[in-house]
A and B are shown apart, each in its own frame.
Chain A
Amino acid sequence: MIPCAGGGGEELRDIRSSSIVEAVRNLCIEANTRLPQDHLSALRRALDDEESELGREVIERLLENAEVARERCIAFCQDTGYAVFFVELGSEVNVSGGEIGAAIDEGVRRGYEEGFLRKSIVRSPVDRTNTGDNTPAVVYYEPVPGEGLKLTMLVKGAGCDNMSALKMLTPAEGLPAMKEFVVETVEKAGPNASPPLTVGVGMGGPFERAALLAKKALTRPSGEPNPDPELADLERELLDCINATGIGPAGYGGTQTALAVHVESFPTHIAAFPVAVNLDCHSHRTASAEL
């Protein structure tokens, strides 16, 4: 195909909104009933490495639960969470037959109803009336070149989200303070965030970018290191520090408090060193689809 220089509408790839609805519906059910293979592998490694007997028992139960949920197509955790989507929207894509945000909400509505998933979203922090269908979805759009559309879903439980934190460090405090803050956040969360955890860390940008990066970091395949070798080293160091806390599986004590630490970084201001830590529980739920 000849690249379109002038942006003529006839060059755009057409994607029907109904196919987005269908893809989102399927992602909701898949993410909530099937633990991703990379996460299962991480849990199996943790089972081999865990030194506490009670800790091993917890991980065995988690693996058994995942198998039962997959076989019966039921949710492996009752908190089927916020439906969070990271959307990579190609510059040469035109969505027809409806607006993309409405299509994602409709997919969530169907997926949560047809998948027997719990509806956990209330109208506002003050008006706590349940919206009844787990909408609105939480959607972040990223424009990318090309004619693809990729939807990555993260099902985010509240127990671990509640234990997440953000801090505006100063450049003088620097990396040592950043490491300390990540480990301190995990320590404070203790058993409440349902370890073994996946720890998403975002640093840099202004305030909100750090938080978003921390969330997005959770969608990376479990334990896949950051391509930047320095950040990959930092991830390994943080994982060791977190696993030295002793919190262990379900917080009952042990050597496997986290399965992975994923760090994402973004340029920041000369005056700033923001860091955000988003914790994810042992029911780590992601799935993606390309249209």
Chain B
Amino acid sequence: MEDIEPLRTGDVVRLGGVLYTARDAAHARMKEAIETGDPLPFEPDGQVVYFTGPAPARPGQALGPAGPTTASRMDPHSPMLVERGLRGMVGKGSRSERVLEAMRQHGYVYFGAVEGTAALLADCVKEVEVIGYEDLGAEAVRRLIVEDFPVVVVNDLHGGDLYREGRERWRR
């Protein structure tokens, strides 16, 4: 996942390796932890966060259905992780100008996954471990090992924005 420079908006990419799940409540807690100097559930440097809150797993599944949630709700919190070296985020929907600015400054990629493919995405998750804020249930921070996890590059390191460009191209 280190090699993000060649990625371009619109590229279909398969992720392999570690993703950390976090959504609304976990981001609020990480913000508190940073403010009070407490440790985070994971070291953001070089990592990718996946905005999701999975459904419960049936017996025999590593993870229940787990598609992306709307990323803009994490916009107020994302820059603090980016400043600590985060390299990628997986979610759905547009990011704020402030997040895009942090992206250009610190160099990370925003990937889109398709929310309504939660069952297929869960199949790409091979291992799961809750590593923080377990009391948050679906919103706890999990460490996932994924294989062939399909995403599309929405915002690349070069100012590309798939949502803007896609809409301009197909507007009639």
- A interface residues (Cβ-Cβ under 8 A, vs B): 51-52, 54, 57-58, 61-62, 64-65, 68-69, 72, 74-80, 116-120, 128, 130, 159, 162, 190-192, 194, 244-248, 250-255, 281-283
* Residue in chain B with minimal CB distance to A132: B137
Residues from chain B with a CB closer than 8 A to the CB of A54 are 10, 12, 152, 166
**Is B78 interfacial (CB 8 A cutoff)?**
no
Residues from chain A with a CB closer than 8 A to the CB of B66 are 78
Residues from chain B with a CB closer than 8 A to the CB of A283 are 115-116
Given A74-B65, A75-B65, A80-B55, verify A244-B166 contact (CB < 8 Å). Answer: no
Q: Apart from A76-B116, A246-B172, A252-B152, what are 4 other A-B pairs with CB-CB below 8 Å?
A: A118-B56, A191-B94, A247-B167, A252-B112
Contact partner of B52 (CB less than 8 A), chosen from A76, A78, A80, A250, is A78
Interface size class of B (residues with CB under 8 A): 35 or more
Selected A-B contacts with CB under 8 Å, 22 pairs: A61-B150, A62-B114, A64-B117, A75-B55, A75-B64, A75-B118, A76-B116, A78-B64, A118-B53, A118-B55, A118-B56, A120-B53, A159-B70, A159-B115, A246-B166, A246-B172, A248-B166, A248-B167, A250-B92, A250-B114, A252-B112, A253-B168
* Residue in chain A with minimal CB distance to B138: A118
Chain A nearest CB from B72 CB (Å) reads 6
- Alpha-carbon distance between A183 and B137 when the two chains are bound, in angstroms: 37
**Is B47 interfacial (CB 8 A cutoff)?**
no
Contact A116 B58 (CB under 8 A): yes
- B interface residues (Cβ-Cβ under 8 A, vs A): 10, 12, 25, 52-58, 61, 64-67, 69-70, 72, 92-94, 112, 114-120, 123, 137-138, 150, 152, 162-163, 165-172
Chain B nearest CB from A57 CB (Å) reads 7
- Alpha-carbon distance between A281 and B69 when the two chains are bound, in angstroms: 12
Binding site of B, secondary structure by majority: helix, strand, loop or mixed?
Answer: mixed
Contact partner of A251 (CB less than 8 A), chosen from B53, B54, B61, B163, is B163
Contact A65 B152 (CB under 8 A): no
Contact A77 B115 (CB under 8 A): yes
- Alpha-carbon distance between A194 and B115 when the two chains are bound, in angstroms: 7
Chain B nearest CB from A31 CB (Å) reads 14
Residues from chain B with a CB closer than 8 A to the CB of A247 are 166-167, 170
- Alpha-carbon distance between A77 and B66 when the two chains are bound, in angstroms: 7
Contact B119 A69 (CB under 8 A): yes
Chain A nearest CB from B103 CB (Å) reads 17
Residues from chain A with a CB closer than 8 A to the CB of B94 are 190-192, 251
Given A74-B64, A252-B163, verify A117-B169 contact (CB < 8 Å). Answer: no
Contact A52 B166 (CB under 8 A): yes
